[in-house]
Structure 1
Amino acid sequence: MLTELDLTNYHLPDLTGVEIEPSLTAIDLTANRLRTLDPRILQLQGLRCINFRQNLLANVSAWSTCECKGTLEDLEFRDNHLSTIPCLKGFVHLQRLDCSYNQIRNLVPLADLDSNRLEELYVANNKVTAITALSHLTALTLLELGSNRIRMIEGIASLTCLRELWLGRNRITKIDGLTTLVNLRRMSLQSNRLTSMLGLESCAALEELYLSHNGITTLEGLAPLTRLKILDVSSNRLTTVEVSALATLTQLEDLWLNDNRIPAIDVALDRALDPVRHSLACIYLEGNPAASDPQYKRKLVNMLPKLKQLDANFL
């Protein structure tokens, strides 16, 4: 009895010549040329996982009529031509949903998703303008909304199980709405419109923080983030590292400061790096005036005895 069907990279325009057995529980249709949903797939009652990645689907509204609502756990429509997320009412066991790389404008259809098991939601690289209709998805541990048109961090206060929040490449100007997200481990706000780091103080469990390509001028608000291991503030407008900025980050292993305006490798920088002197294994400083120092490498190696990587070079 066949339970899995893998048609990856077959470039099929449709499934006319393919036998769809009722016993199927997993189907992978990645990299085909499908424009419509085969009615036989909609009739499968035991389907748990289906992947429509890299097809030509523009309208999948028929998915709301499928007969696997009580079993489906993993659904992927990544990299198609969708303008809207299909109605997912009744999909009570859904754990993972990926609608990234489409032309979706809002998250409103997710208000009807009544699964209390959804753990991972990916709607990156679309045209979403606001974070809405997610407050009931309280089991989410990962939310990926990068490369959209979002201006505010909102509507996620109830998502207290979140461990990963990816909001890079949006239009966010302020870090806000995170006070209840005390379980966050990874967060990305790269390539937004931030001028301040303040607003992260409640996220004391953070281990990785990515803030590159913004307009940040000061390292601040980091004191509560004592578990931080990776801090990326590259491509900002930093002119100095304040002596107190890294004072509590004694577990920091990677520090990305490249492409800022730090003037020199001097006593002030030495003092600022003192709290991470025995934890830091990687530092990026290229693209700063400081990197033009003829003794650049020697000075940093002397400052940081545990250093294993300077910029892209392993020591």
Structure 2
Amino acid sequence: MVEKKVQVVGYPPDPPQGVEGAKSESGDEAEYPDHPDTESMPTELDHADEGIEELMATFADDETEIDLTHLRLTTTKYLGLERFANTLRKLCLRQNEIKSIRSKDFHSLVHLKDLDLYDNQIEHIAGLENCLELEVLDLSFNNIRHVSRLAHLAKCHTLYLVQNKIAKLRPDDLQMPIATSLRSLELGGNRLHSLEHLDKLVHLEELWVGKNKITSLDGIQHLKNLKILSIQSNRLTKLDNLDELASLEELYVSHNGITSLSGLEHNHQLNTLDFGANQVESLQGVEHLSKMSQFWGNDNRIQDFNHLDQFLGPQLMPDLETIYLEGNPGQKAEGANYRRKISLMLPQIEQLDAT
């Protein structure tokens, strides 16, 4: 079968002035446990979507990939998705005004592998009960408060929930079977205060939780297969609970309140470390990381660069290529001699700061 892809952007034209989708002001998801269908009655807003029917009629029944980005859709009611049930593998509905995932529209998409609902107005996760082949699901930039009704997705390896309103993960949110299928989880830009209830994600390799309110790495120790951890722009003050993460290769902890680099004693596979914009005063604690290639320590409180080779020298880190140290007091102290001094002590590097 020849794979077919149809992409439509900017159709239908903008609705008449004054016809806009009002954002829902509903509260916690618990108030709507069954997520009833609120779109059964035709409304003025529905008519703004009806122009899509003519467009969908031009698609062949055997489309494998459909992209309906930025069409001002407020519902999936008129897409007739059941017509593509046998062949559709990827559906992109980015940058629309869709408020809910309607079960009646998605129940026949049993072969769908990639669903992109980035930047809509979805408040509750529901309607994906039959999409058991889903591998990639993007629900970023919506109004979701809880990670519900996803545990049945046994083949989902990548889940994006960036920039929503998620304040916590509940014990039953990411249970079996999705708990063992997930390899990458993105929860950046939410309202998380902790890393609780991640212990079942035994095969997770990437965790992205930047721009939250997390104060501790407690809970991360369960993710023994983690290779990438990004927890930038949170409220960390120290690096702890990393001892069990022997496979960790990339660690991003910039824009926190970390004062020391101790806590990395068992992370020998680290090749990238970003602790920029913290309160670190010394590089002690990294000298054993022999596989380091990217080292970002800009905008900290490092006063003295005189013994830099004792921590980052070519004998210790032969593969070190890039290092950022600008914005530290030591840079100002060295003045015009800064770049030459670093280059002489670390001859293996190819890039110093942004140059």
Match of 1:123 among 161, 165, 179: 161
Match of 1:91 among 131, 135, 144: 131
Query: TM (normalized to structure 1)?
Result: 0.92
Question: Distance in 1 between the 2:274 and 2:293 partners?
Answer: 11
User: Is 1:57 aligned to residue 98 of structure 2?
Assistant: yes
What code does the residue aligned with 1:108 have? Answer: S
SS in 1 for 2:323: strand
CA offset digits 1:247-277 (Å, max 9, x no partner): 320000111110111112113x332224644
Unmatched segments (≥5 aa) in structure 2: 13-48
Answer whether contact 1:246 1:276 (CA < 8 A) is retained. Answer: no
What code does the residue aligned with 2:235 have? Answer: R
Question: Distance in 2 between the 1:43 and 1:8 partners?
Answer: 18
Question: Distance in 2 between the 1:283 and 1:3 partners?
Answer: 45
What code does the residue aligned with 1:233 have? Answer: F
Question: Distance in 2 between the 1:26 and 1:8 partners?
Answer: 11
Aligned to 1:238: 280
Aligned to 2:54: 17
Question: Distance in 1 between the 2:282 and 2:328 partners?
Answer: 11
What code does the residue aligned with 2:8 have? Answer: T
Following superposition, the deviation at residue 63 of structure 1 comes to 3.6
User: Is 1:35 aligned to residue 35 of structure 2?
Assistant: no
Unmatched segments (≥5 aa) in structure 1: none
CA offset digits 1:177-211 (Å, max 9, x no partner): 12232221111000000001111111111111100
Question: Distance in 2 between the 1:80 and 1:68 partners?
Answer: 22
Following superposition, the deviation at residue 4 of structure 1 comes to 3.3
Question: Distance in 2 between the 1:162 and 1:100 partners?
Answer: 19
Question: Distance in 2 between the 1:236 and 1:297 partners?
Answer: 22
What does residue range 65-214 of structure 1 map to in structure 2 within 5 Å?
65-111=105-151, 114-132=152-170, 133-136=173-176, 137=178, 138-214=180-256
Answer whether contact 2:6 2:63 (CA < 8 A) is retained. Answer: no
What code does the residue aligned with 2:154 have? Answer: N
Aligned to 2:268: 226
Give the number of equivalent residue pairs: 307
Identical pairs, percent: 37
Question: Distance in 2 between the 1:305 and 1:277 partners?
Answer: 11
Question: Distance in 1 between the 2:319 and 2:63 partners?
Answer: 50
Answer whether contact 2:268 2:289 (CA < 8 A) is retained. Answer: yes
Following superposition, the deviation at residue 26 of structure 1 comes to 1.8
Question: Distance in 1 between the 2:318 and 2:89 partners?
Answer: 48
Answer whether contact 1:225 1:248 (CA < 8 A) is retained. Answer: no
Following superposition, the deviation at residue 122 of structure 1 comes to 0.3
Answer whether contact 2:195 2:214 (CA < 8 A) is retained. Answer: yes
Answer whether contact 2:126 2:148 (CA < 8 A) is retained. Answer: no
What code does the residue aligned with 2:62 have? Answer: S
Query: TM (normalized to structure 2)?
Result: 0.82
What code does the residue aligned with 1:9 have? Answer: V
Question: Distance in 1 between the 2:340 and 2:61 partners?
Answer: 67
